A = this chain, B = another copy of it.
Amino acid sequence: MIQIAIMGLGTVGTGVAKVVEENAEQIQHKLGEPLRVKTVLVRHLKDGPYRHLMTDDFQKIEADPEIRVVVETIGGVGAAYEYTKRALAAGKHVVTANKQLVAEKGCELLELAKAHDVSYLFEASVGGGIPVLHPLTQCMAANRIDEIYGILNGTTNYILTRMVRAGATFAEALAEAQAKGYAEADPTADVAGIDAGRKTCILADLAFGRQVDPEQVPMEGIAGLSLEDVKIARRAGYRVKLLGRALRLPEGGHTAYVAPHLISEENPISNVEDVFNAVMVRGNATGEVMFYGKGAGEMPTASACVADVMECLQASPRRQEIGWSDSTEGFQDPAELRTRHYFRIAGSLSDAAAAFGDVEVLSENGETAFLTDVISGQDAARLSGKLNVRACMRVLA
């Protein structure tokens, strides 16, 4: 019998306990022995189906030699960070879905895990139940990873889908998402691109082998997005999606950012709708590979955590290939990245042409919407300086 602990009994923590129970047969078959949740750490003891497993004292987990793996679903960097360090130092594997902690402290925690010959795994932190990090680090290990982009946040993708399909405004679609339970009462982390940004950092860390700090990465959300631009883009054969992007630059170094993009309908990621997520990874040998599924939810995310628990137990003593340097060297401002840009200006086509030369006009009715040639973000800002810009987005090539 293998015993584990869960820290935090919110949506994901409860899901982990359920998956361990409901899929006990599959799990035992693969591990060769049963897996059991022995202890659940909560802040305040409360009634419920797991009452008999609860403790509010972390030492009960830390000092229990029977507990081999700890699943951290507390969230944030306060107690989660502290307890993760102590659990690793006590020689226990730690598994998490906590993207903020991995994005900010992952490098340090992986070093600590290495020093104590245990694993720190976090597949569930990106894409929920969609396998992304393992395929990236393991199945694509023989590749140089050149680019990753993805729809990494289901809440914002649901909002954008409603804006496109039902012609809803951002505010209407957000209210709808909240009514359906897809968006939190305080939707800031989702809507402002922070959630997608943390996931982008984790993907970039693994792809480039260097720390990409969330503070370095510009994160733009969808709160400022106008229905007008969604409609113009759609008529021109594009969808508007919030993308997290990380890529190697041709001049050397790498960059990462989160922003709404125009994506051609020909690109399969443009068809990813509702709360679904998708991550495209481009390797120099494999080419583009896409992973698609529900990026959140109790059971998908929990099942990814439990798979990581099984992985910790089977990889003896620890998974080798996951980790990155704490150096942030090589990170470049994404403003240097060259793409086509979409603009909507309060002005005429000749205003647009005066600033950018030849442009592709998408719409003219008092305002003018157009696509520029391939230019850097810096040039886009500089050349549009004298225009009355109502909207500006990059176009995914």
Q: Which residues of A contact B (CB under 8 A)?
A: 19-20, 22-23, 25-27, 29-30, 123, 129-131, 134-135, 138-144, 209, 268, 271-272, 283-294, 297, 299-300, 302-304, 306-307, 309-311, 314-316, 320-321
Task: Give which listed residue, B129, B134, B144, contacts A138 with CB less than 8 A.
Answer: B134
Q: Could you name 19 residue pairs across A and B whose Cβ atoms are closer than 8 Å? A: A19-B285, A22-B285, A23-B144, A23-B284, A30-B320, A129-B287, A130-B289, A131-B138, A134-B134, A134-B138, A139-B304, A271-B271, A285-B299, A286-B300, A286-B303, A287-B297, A289-B291, A289-B293, A290-B291
Q: How far is the CB of A19 from chain B (nearest CB, A)?
A: 5
| C-alpha spacing A131/B283, complex, angstroms | 12
**A289 vs B297: C-alpha distance in the bound complex, in angstroms?**
13
Q: Is the CB–CB distance between A135 and B131 below 8 Å?
A: yes
The distance in angstroms between the C-alpha atoms of A315 and B318, with both chains bound, is 9
Complex CA distance for A134 and B133, rounded to whole angstroms: 12
Interface contacts beyond A23-B144, A131-B138, A287-B294: sample of 13 additional A-B pairs, CB < 8 Å, sorted by A: A30-B320, A130-B289, A131-B139, A131-B289, A135-B139, A285-B299, A285-B302, A285-B303, A285-B306, A290-B293, A291-B292, A314-B320, A316-B316
Task: Give the residue of B142, B290, B320 whose beta carbon is less than 8 angstroms from that of A19.
Answer: B142
A142 touches B289 (CB 8 A): no
Chain B residues whose C-beta falls within 8 Å of the C-beta of A293 in the assembled complex: 286-290
Q: Which residues of B contact A123 (CB under 8 A)?
A: 139
Give chain B residues whose Cβ lies under 8 Å from the Cβ of A320.
30, 314
Nearest neighbor of A320 in chain B, beta-carbon distance? B314
CA distance A373 to B287 in the complex (A): 41
Knowing A30-B141, A300-B285, A304-B139, the reply to whether A292 touches B294 (Cβ < 8 A) is no
A310–B129 touching, CB < 8 Å: no
Contacting A271 at CB < 8 Å: which of B27, B268, B304? B268
B residues near A27, Cβ cutoff 8 Å: 141-142
Query: What is the bound-complex CA distance between A53 and B104, given in angstroms?
Result: 47
Query: Top 8 nearest A-B pairs by Cβ distance?
Result: A131-B139, A285-B303, A142-B306, A131-B135, A289-B293, A129-B286, A290-B292, A285-B299
A277 to chain B, nearest CB (A): 10
Complex Cα gap A316–B144 (Å): 25
Q: How far is the CA of A134 from the CA of B130 in the complex (A)?
A: 13
Whether the pair B134, A310 counts as a contact (CB closer than 8 A) is: no
- Closest Cβ of chain B to A207, distance in Å, is 11
Task: Contact check, B141 vs A307: say whether CB atoms are below 8 A apart.
Answer: yes
Q: How far is the CA of A95 from the CA of B310 in the complex (A)?
A: 23
Alpha-carbon gap, A310 to B137, bound state (A): 11
Evaluate contact between B209 and A29: CB separation under 8 angstroms.
yes
Residue in B23, B289, B291, B309 whose beta carbon sits within 8 Å of that of A143 in the complex: B23
* Interchain CB contact under 8 A, B321 and A30: yes
* In the complex, chain B residues whose CB is within 8 Å of the CB of A22: 284-285
